[in-house]
C-alpha cells in the first residue's frame, strides 16, 4: 500500500488568502449578534497607586449605560488564572493598581459610545505611590512592586539546566579559571534587549453570548489558544467545560500576544451571563499598547573567554528579565526558553543566570521568539565582538566552535538540553556560498576605501520549537486551570466524506500561518485526495479535538504529525475496503489520483467516493468492519525540534544622519523537511521583518513614573515593506528524528536570527571608527551619537 502523489513540499498558494485579501474573511468584528451591548474599561493612569474609592453613580446615571462593575461586584470571581501564576492579576483592581492601563472598572452600555461616556464619568480616587520601573532598581528591592511582598525577584533560572547549584558553580569556576590563562582573551558587554509591543494588525476583541435556555456560553475571541480560553472561562465561571464554546475565527496576527487568557475575556463572558445579553469588547490601539502583553525587556552582561586562535573557552551570561507587574500565561517561562538555546550552536562551557523581576509596567510574555531571540542576541553579539578582538573572520570563529555534526543524534547542548539533529557547518557554508561572502567583503572594503560606511554582519542561530517531551508540562504548569491535559500534545482528526472529499479538524489556533493550506497538503500526501477537496477546520472548540493552540512554532511538528498519523490510519482502513471492492490484496493497493487501484493495474480503480460509501454503508463491507472513515490521533513528541540557520546582512550607515540602510539580507535556514516552501519563506520574511523592527525601530519606553511614552503607532514605529530589501532565502534540510514528517518549526526562525545580524552589520560598518556596540534600536539619532562619540 503506497501513495504515488505527494503534495508535501509543493509551493501551493495559501488557500486562506482569496477571502482575506478581498476583505471577505470573518473576524470577531464581522460577527454581529442581536441585542448586543458594549464594554469599555476604566483604566489606571498611575503606575502604582492605592485605590481609595470608586464612585460609579454618575456613570450609572448616564443614558444608555446598563451596568458598571468594580472589584466589589465580582464576588469570588478571580483573580485571573494562568498556567504559571506567581503574581496573579486581579480581574479588576479595587485595592492597589500596579501599572498604567490596569483595569479598575468595566462599564457596559447599549453601544460603545455610551459605554465610553459612562467610563469617562467613573470617578476613581487614587493615592499615588512610588513605582519601580528600572530593572536594576527592582532587583535591589529598594522599593517593592507588590506591597507586602518580600522581594521583587519572582524566580531565577540558571544553567546548565537541571544541574545542582554546585555543578553550575563548577562551570562558572571553570570559566573563571579560563580567564586566568595567559593566552586568554576576555570580551564582556552589558547589552539591553529592549521591551517590545507585539502590535498585531487586528487588536484583541471578544464577544460573548450567554444562552439561558441551554446554560451555555458562546465566545468569539481573537485568540491563539481557543481551547485554553474555553477552559479558563469555564473554570472561572464555574461551568462545565462543555458549556463553553470558544471560536477564534480569522485572527489578524497574534505573535504570542494572543497566547494569553486576559481579564477582559473572562469579564465580558461573565457580564454576558450576568446581564443576559451579548457583550462585545473591542481593544483600542492604545489599550493594545498599554494592557496587552509586551515582549523582551532584558538587560544582561555577556562575557566570553577564548584563545587568540579562536577557540572559545567559556561563555557567561548574567541578566535581569522584566516580568512587569503580574505574571500571566507563560511570563516566567520566557527566560527559561532563552536558557534552552543559551549556548547557541557552540560547544563551550556555558554558565547562564537570569533573575525574573517585577516592575510597575505591563506584564511581559511570549512575543515571537520568546526568550530565544534574546538569548541568541547575547551570544551572537559577544561571539562577534570576540572575533573582532582577535582579528579573525566572524564566520571562521563560529565554524571553529560549532557542536560537530557527529554529535547528533544525541547531542546535549552545554546549556543542558538534549537536541535532535543538526549540521551547522554545512548550513553556514550554504549561507556563505549563496552570499558569495568573499565578494561581499571585497565590496565592503572597496566602499570603505571610498569613505563609505558599509558593513557585513552575520549570525547563526539555533532555536527550540514544539516544546517537548510531554513531561516538560509538569514543570509547574497549572494546566488544570485551563481544563487541559498535562502534556504538550498535538491533535488532528481526518474524515473522508461520502462525496470523496476530506475534512480535517485541528486543535490549533492559527493567526496567519497558513494551516488550512499545509494541513491539506499533509492529508493529500497520505490519501492522494486533491488539496482542493480537503477542508481544514480550526479554532472552534465546539468541533475540534483538544489542542493547546498555536505557539512556540509547534503546530507543524506536533499537530501536523498527529494529522499525518490520523490520515495514515484512515488510509489503512481505506486500503482494506478498496481491496475488498477490487478483490485484491490489501498490500497491493496504491492510492493515487483521487482513489485507489491495484499496483501495476491503474485501470482496476475505485474512487474515494466508492471507498467511503462502503465505509458508511457498512453492510457492504467485510464482516466486522467498523462504520465510518475517520480517525482522531493525539501525537506526543519525544523531544522538541531544534531548527537552526545562518543570516547575513550588508548595510550602509550614513555618517551625517546615522540612518541605516539594509542593502542585502541573505539567509540559510534549516527547518528540516518542508511542507510548503512558499509558506516557509513567507514565515521567514515576516520573522525577519520583526527582527529588523527590534534592531532598528521599536522601543516600548516607560518614563520613571511608569507612563508608556511610545503607546501609539506614531511613536512606536514598526517596519514597513519600504524599510527592508528583498530577502534572499536559501537553506539546508536536516530532518528531525522526533516526528514522522521530519519537520521542524519555522514560525519564529526569522525573528530569532535577525536582530543580532543587523547589529553585527552596523557595528562592522562603523568598525573604522572604533565603535564596538550600540544598544537597539539603532535609530538614526542613536547611531549618529555613537559616531560622534567615536570621532571624539
Which residues in this chain contact ligand MCN in the complex, by CB under 6 A?
Answer: 253-256, 368, 511-515, 518, 550-557, 560, 671-676, 679-680, 683, 686, 743-748
Dihedral (Cα; 534, 538, 544, 545), 10-degree rounding: 90
Question: How far apart are the C-alpha atoms of 248 and 259, rounded to whole Å?
Answer: 12
Q: Of 96 and 420, which has the nearer Cβ to ligand MCN?
A: 420
Angstrom distance (rounded) from CA 24 to CA 17: 10
Q: State in angstroms the smallest separation of the CB of 483 from ligand MCN.
A: 22
* Cα gap 136→139, rounded to integer Å: 5
**Least distance to ligand MCN from the beta carbon of 406, Å?**
24
Residue 532: how many other CB atoms lie within 10 Å? 11
Helix-helix angle 749-765:677-692, to 10 degrees: 50
Measured from the CB of residue 682, what is the shortest distance to ligand MCN in angstroms?
8
- Give the closest residue to 521 by CA, choosing from 533, 513, 539, 511: 533
Length of the chain in terms of residues written: 792
Nearer to ligand MCN, 652 or 670 (CB): 670
Shortest CB 513 distance to ligand MCN, Å: 4
- Bridge partners of 153, per DSSP, are 357
Which lies closer to ligand MCN via its Cβ, residue 56 or residue 676? 676
Assigned C-alpha cell, 782: 542613536
| Alpha carbon distance 412, 642 (integer Å) | 12
Q: Rank residues 255 and 564 by Cβ distance to ligand MCN and give the closer one.
A: 255
By beta-carbon proximity to ligand MCN, the closer residue of 109 and 552 is 552
Beta strands 216-221 and 244-247 are parallel
Of 119 and 366, the one with the shorter C-beta distance to ligand MCN is 366
Q: Which residues contact 305 (CB under 8 A, 6 or more apart)?
A: 175, 178, 179, 184, 185, 186, 312, 313, 314, 315, 316
Sign of CA dihedral 519, 523, 524, 529: negative
Nearer to ligand MCN, 46 or 330 (CB): 330
Query: Residue 44 or 561: which CB sits closer to ligand MCN?
Result: 561
Could you tell me where the beta strands, DSSP code E, fall in 463-532? 490-496, 502-506
| Smallest separation, CB 674 to ligand MCN (Å) | 4
CB-nearer residue toward ligand MCN: 56 or 513: 513
Please report which helix (H) or strand (E) contains residue 321, including its range.
Answer: strand 312-324
C-beta of 201 vs 438, nearer to ligand MCN = 201
Taking the C-alpha atoms of residue 610 and residue 619, their distance in angstroms, rounded to an integer, is 14
Q: Please work out, in degrees rounded to the nearest 5, the angle formed at the alpha carbon of residue 765 by the alpha carbons of 763 and 768.
A: 95
Contacts of 145 (CB under 8 A, 6+ apart): 48, 98, 131, 132, 138, 152, 325, 358, 359, 360
Minimal distance, residue 212 CB to ligand MCN, in Å: 36
Cβ at position 234, least distance to ligand MCN in Å: 24
Amino acid at each position: 500500500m503506497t501513495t504515488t502523489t505527494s503534495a508535501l513540499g509543493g509551493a501551493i498558494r495559501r488557500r486562506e488568502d482569496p477571502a482575506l485579501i478581498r476583505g471577505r474573511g470573518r473576524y470577531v468584528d464581522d460577527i454581529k449578534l442581536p441585542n448586543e451591548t458594549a464594554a469599555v474599561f476604566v483604566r489606571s493612569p498611575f503606575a502604582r497607586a492605592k485605590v481609595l474609592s470608586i464612585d460609579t453613580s454618575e456613570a450609572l446615571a448616564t443614558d444608555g449605560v446598563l451596568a458598571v462593575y468594580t472589584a466589589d461586584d465580582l464576588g469570588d470571581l478571580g483573580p485571573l488564572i494562568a498556567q504559571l501564576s506567581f503574581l496573579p492579576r486581579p480581574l479588576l483592581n479595587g485595592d492597589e493598581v500596579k501599572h498604567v492601563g490596569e483595569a479598575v472598572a468595566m462599564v457596559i452600555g447599549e453601544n460603545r459610545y455610551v459605554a465610553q461616556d459612562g467610563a469617562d464619568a467613573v470617578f476613581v480616587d487614587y493615592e499615588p505611590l512610588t513605582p519601580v520601573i528600572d530593572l536594576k532598581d527592582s532587583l535591589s528591592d529598594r522599593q517593592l512592586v507588590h506591597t507586602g511582598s518580600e522581594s521583587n525577584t519572582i524566580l531565577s533560572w540558571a544553567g546548565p539546566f537541571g544541574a545542582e547549584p554546585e555543578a553550575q558553580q563548577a562551570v562558572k569556576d571553570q570559566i573563571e579559571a579560563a580567564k586566568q590563562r595567559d593566552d586568554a582573551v576576555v570580551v564582556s558587554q552589558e547589552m539591553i534587549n529592549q521591551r517590545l509591543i507585539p502590535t498585531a494588525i487586528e487588536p484583541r476583541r471578544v464577544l460573548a453570548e450567554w444562552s439561558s435556555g441551554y446554560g451555555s456560553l458562546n465566545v468569539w475571541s481573537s485568540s491563539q489558544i481557543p481551547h485554553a480560553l474555553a477552559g479558563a472561562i469555564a473554570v472561572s465561571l464555574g461551568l462545565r467545560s462543555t458549556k463553553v464554546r470558544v471560536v477564534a475565527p480569522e485572527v489578524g496576527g497574534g505573535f504570542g500576544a494572543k497566547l494569553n487568557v486576559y481579564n477582559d475575556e473572562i469579564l465580558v463572558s461573565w457580564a454576558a451571563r450576568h446581564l443576559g445579553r451579548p457583550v462585545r469588547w473591542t481593544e483600542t490601539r492604545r489599550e493594545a499598547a498599554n494592557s496587552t502583553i509586551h515582549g523582551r525587556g532584558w538587560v544582561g552582561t555577556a562575557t566570553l573567554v577564548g584563545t587568540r586562535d579562536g577557540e572559545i573557552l567559556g561563555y557567561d551570561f548574567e541578566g535581569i528579565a522584566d516580568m512587569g507587574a503580574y505574571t500571566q500565561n507563560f511570563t516566567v517561562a520566557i527566560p527559561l526558553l532563552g536558557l534552552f538555546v543559551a549556548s547557541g550552536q557552540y560547544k563551550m562551557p556555558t554558565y547562564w543566570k537570569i533573575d525574573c523581576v517585577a516592575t510597575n509596567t505591563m506584564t511581559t510574555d511570549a512575543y515571537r521568539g520568546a526568550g530565544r531571540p534574546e538569548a541568541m542576541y547575547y551570544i551572537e553579539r559577544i561571539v562577534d565582538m570576540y572575533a573582532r578582538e582577535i582579528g579573525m573572520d566572524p564566520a571562521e570563529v563560529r565554524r571553529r566552535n560549532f557542536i560537530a555534526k557527529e554529535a547528533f543524534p544525541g547531542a546535549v547542548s552545554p546549556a543542558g538540553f538534549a537536541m535532535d539533529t543538526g549540521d551547522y557547518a554545512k548550513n553556514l557554508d550554504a549561507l556563505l556560498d549563496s552570499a558569495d561572502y568573499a565578494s561581499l567583503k571585497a565590496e565592503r572594503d572597496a566602499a570603505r576605501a571610498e569613505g563609505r560606511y558599509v558593513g557585513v554582519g552575520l549570525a547563526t542561530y539555533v532555536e527550540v520549537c514544539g516544546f517537548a517531551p510531554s513531561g516538560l508540562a509538569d514543570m509547574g504548569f497549572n494546566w488544570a486551570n485551563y481544563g487541559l491535559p498535562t502534556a504538550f500534545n498535538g491533535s488532528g482528526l481526518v474524515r473522508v466524506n461520502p462525496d470523496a472529499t476530506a475534512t480535517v479538524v485541528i486543535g490549533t489556533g492559527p493567526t496567519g500561518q497558513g494551516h488550512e493550506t499545509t494541513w491539506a497538503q499533509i492529508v493529500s500526501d497520505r490519501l492522494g485526495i486533491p488539496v482542493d477537496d480537503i477542508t481544514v477546520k480550526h479554532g472552534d472548540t465546539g468541533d475540534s479535538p483538544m489542542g493547546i493552540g498555536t505557539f512556540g512554532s509547534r503546530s507543524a511538528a506536533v499537530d501536523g504529525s498527529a494529522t499525518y498519523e490520523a490520515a495514515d490510519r484512515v488510509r489503512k482502513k481505506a486500503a482494506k475496503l478498496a481491496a475488498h471492492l477490487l478483490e485484491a490484496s490489501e498490500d497491493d493497493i496504491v492510492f493515487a489520483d483521487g482513489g485507489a487501484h491495484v499496483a501495476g493495474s491503474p485501470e482496476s480503480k475505485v474512487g474515494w467516493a466508492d471507498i467511503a460509501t462502503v465505509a458508511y454503508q457498512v453492510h457492504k463491507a467485510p464482516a466486522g468492519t467498523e462504520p465510518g472513515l475517520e480517525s482522531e490521533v493525539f501525537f506526543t513528541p519525544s523531544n522538541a525540534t531544534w531548527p537552526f540557520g545562518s543570516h547575513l546582512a550588508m548595510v550602509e550607515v550614513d555618517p551625517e544622519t546615522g540612518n541605516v540602510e539594509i542593502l542585502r539580507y541573505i539567509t540559510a535556514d534549516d527547518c528540516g523537511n518542508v511542507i510548503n516552501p512558499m509558506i516557509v519563506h513567507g514565515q521567514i520574511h515576516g520573522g525577519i521583518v520583526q527582527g529588523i523592527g527590534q534592531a532598528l525601530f521599536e522601543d516600548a519606553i516607560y518614563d520613571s513614573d511608569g507612563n508608556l511614552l511610545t503607546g501609539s503607532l506614531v511613536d512606536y514605529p514598526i517596519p514597513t515593506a519600504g524599510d527592508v530589501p528583498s530577502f534572499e532565502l536559501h537553506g539546508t534540510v536536516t530532518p528531525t528524528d522526533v516526528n514522522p514528517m521530519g519537520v521542524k518549526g519555522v514560525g519564529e526562525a526569522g525573528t530569532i536570527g535577525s536582530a543580532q545580524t543587523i547589529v553585527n552589520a552596523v557595528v562592522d560598518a562603523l568598525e573604522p571608527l572604533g565603535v564596538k556596540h550600540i544598544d537597539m534600536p539603532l535609530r538614526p539619532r542613536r547611531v549618529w551619537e555613537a559616531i560622534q562619540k567615536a570621532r571624539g
